[in-house]
Amino acid sequence: MPEDKNADMVTITRLRLEELEADREWLSWLEAAGVDNWEGFSHAQEMRDES
């Protein structure tokens, strides 16, 4: 079977996994609330792109 680069395995702590899951859940709530229409959203994107 050919190796799928997207199926690479990594190891993280359970605590880090829980943090990532909580962050993803919070992001989902923000998106549902329309955060992409927030006046600071484009500024945050620029900050991310510059980092």
> For residue range 1-51, what is the model confidence (pLDDT) as tens digits?
556 777 789 999 999 999 999 999 999 999 898 988 888 888 888 999 999
CA 26, 31, 35, 41 torsion-angle sign: positive
CA angle 40, 43, 47 (to 5 degrees): 135
The domain locations on the chain are 14-50
Phi (first) and psi of residue 43, to 5 degrees: -65, -40
- Residue at 44: amino acid letter: A
Q: Which of 29, 51, 31, 26 is nearest to 41 (CA)?
A: 31
CB 35 within 8 A of CB 41: yes
Global pTM? 0.65
